[in-house]
């Protein structure tokens, strides 16, 4: 399978791989591009999958990116595997910078004037996490649920992030779409030419072997005829 490892990674090694791949970021990116080019599908379908997966990768959908990428690729009739691969366009090193950009843009679009600082974001996450944990415990006890922190997080963090990520995400995904088409087309053309060349070499080799076998058979026939001729010793 494409995403299955021979030796499964532990949680610690998996986290390290997500932050900085053992083979290096450049090699990881080249591997994803290599897999994209080798997908056995039409270039525009692969590019549609790249667009869908890349856009989903920019959106705040923790734990649902693969499912969302699959659904988006099916919706626009793109290559599903390309969409799944394209979700790796973000990583823990670049996501915080993009998140701040997206939330800043979302706050500007929605007219939210809250100070977008690390303290503000951390406090919003803390309040939301506290309410979430309290509500889980309230399901098994007499306490009433609390929603203030979650509502604040939804209106001031998540929704602005989602709205602010759409514009840059669509733009960057469109760039990936238009880059993917010529890359995949050129690779498939070169691969087809190489396959045709190998086929031609095999054909010429078979012809040469057949010709050599025919000459050998003819020579053996001539020698046998000479041996059977009258007066031969």
Average pLDDT score over residue span 192-203: 75
Q: Which positions ≥6 away from 48 have C-beta within 8 Å?
A: 73, 76, 77, 78, 79, 82, 177
pTM above 0.85, yes or no: no
Number of structural domains, the chain?
3
Residue 223 counted as domain residue? yes
pLDDT in tens, 82-114: 888 888 887 777 788 888 899 999 999 999 887
Q: Which residues of 8-24 are buried (b: 16+ CB within 10 A; e: fewer)?
A: eeeeeeeeeeeeeeeee
* Same domain? 28 vs 103: no
* Same domain? 159 vs 208: no
* Same domain? 127 vs 66: no
H/E element, 34: helix 25-37
* Same domain? 144 vs 116: yes
pLDDT in tens, 40-50: 678 899 899 99
* Same domain? 171 vs 105: yes
* Same domain? 64 vs 116: no
pLDDT at 70: 92
Average pLDDT score over residue span 132-141: 82
Q: How far apart are CA 168 and CA 172, in angstroms?
A: 6
- Cα torsion 176, 178, 184, 186: sign: negative
Evaluate whether 146 touches 80 at the Cβ level (below 8 Å). Answer: no
Which of 56-60, 105-109, 224-228 comes out lowest in average pLDDT?
Answer: 224-228
Residue percentage of the chain with pLDDT more than 90? 25
Which of 14-18, 32-36, 145-149, 174-178 comes out lowest in average pLDDT?
Answer: 14-18
Phi, psi dihedrals of residue 73, rounded to the nearest 5°: -65, -40
pLDDT at 15: 47
pLDDT in tens, 152-162: 899 999 999 99
Residue 51 counted as domain residue? yes
Provide the residue range defining the domain that includes 86: 1-90
H/E element, 214: helix 159-228
* Same domain? 35 vs 111: no
């Amino acid at each position: 399978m494409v995403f299955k490892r021979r030796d499964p990674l532990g949680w610690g090694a998996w986290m390290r791989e997500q932050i900085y791949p053992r083979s290096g970021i450049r090699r990881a990116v080249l591997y994803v591009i290599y897999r994209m080019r080798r997908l056995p599908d039409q270039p525009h379908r692969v590019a549609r999958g790249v667009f869908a997966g890349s856009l989903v990768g920019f959106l705040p959908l923790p734990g649902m990116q693969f499912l969302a990428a699959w659904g988006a690729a099916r919706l626009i009739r793109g290559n599903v595997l390309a969409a799944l691969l394209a979700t790796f366009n973000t990583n823990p090193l670049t996501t915080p910078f993009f998140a701040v950009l997206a939330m800043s843009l979302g706050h500007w679009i929605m007219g939210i004037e809250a100070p977008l600082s690390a303290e503000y974001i951390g406090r919003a996450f803390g309040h939301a996490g506290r309410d979430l944990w309290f509500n889980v415990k309230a399901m098994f006890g007499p306490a009433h649920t609390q929603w203030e922190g979650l509502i604040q997080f939804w209106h001031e963090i998540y929704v602005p992030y989602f709205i602010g990520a759409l514009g840059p995400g669509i733009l960057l995904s469109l760039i990936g779409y238009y880059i993917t088409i010529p890359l995949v087309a050129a690779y498939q053309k070169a691969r087809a030419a190489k396959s045709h060349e190998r086929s031609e070499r095999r054909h010429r080799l078979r012809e040469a072997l057949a010709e050599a076998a025919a000459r050998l058979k003819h020579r053996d026939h001539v020698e046998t005829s000479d041996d059977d001729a009258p007066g031969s010793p």
